[in-house]
Structure 1
Amino acid sequence: MITKDSKTHATTQDQRKARLAAELRANLLKRKAQARSRRTGAADERPDGIAAADKDDPA
């Protein structure tokens, strides 16, 4: 006999599995995009990095 609690528990598990699957797909797409950008040799446009390397005056 299936009770209301077991249905809720199953639904919660299904929702969790779907959410984790979606996050996994998003992570995979992100990693593939990173690999493609590294393979093409595009310059890294991020502003972060070692600030001391940009200075002309050594400290």
Structure 2
Amino acid sequence: MTGPDDPPKSAKNAQNAAREARLAAALRENLKRRKAQERAKSQGGARDKGAGESEDNG
């Protein structure tokens, strides 16, 4: 049941692969951030800056 607006299957497969790659990268970054936060919490509560944040906010 494909309509005239449906992309070909190869394009859908490429889009799906790209989406899966983005999701996998996001999950890895999330896991790294959560582990860093947990380490900081267990070491006395030092605030974790997270990926990509700079020291000065101004």
The TM-score, its normalising length taken from structure 1, stands at: 0.63
Runs (4+) of structure 1 exceeding 2 A deviation are 42-45
- CA separation of 1:7/1:24 partners in 2, compared to 1, >3 Å: closer, same or farther? same
Tell me which of 27, 33, 39 is aligned to 1:30: 33
Q: Determine which structure has greater relative contact order: mean sequence separation of CA pairs < 8 Å that are 6+ residues apart, divided by chain length.
A: 2
Larger radius of gyration: 1
The TM-score, its normalising length taken from structure 2, stands at: 0.64
1:1-59 superposed matches below 5 A: 5-44=8-47
Over residues 5-54 of structure 1, what are the superposed CA-to-partner deviations in whole Å (9 max), with x where a residue is unaligned?
11100000000000000000000000000000011114448xxxxxxxxx
Give the count of matched residue pairs.
43
The answer to which structure has the higher helix fraction is 1
- Amino-acid identity (%): 40
Unaligned runs of 5+ in 1: 46-59
TM-align CA RMSD? 2.3
Unaligned runs of 5+ in 2: 1-6, 49-58
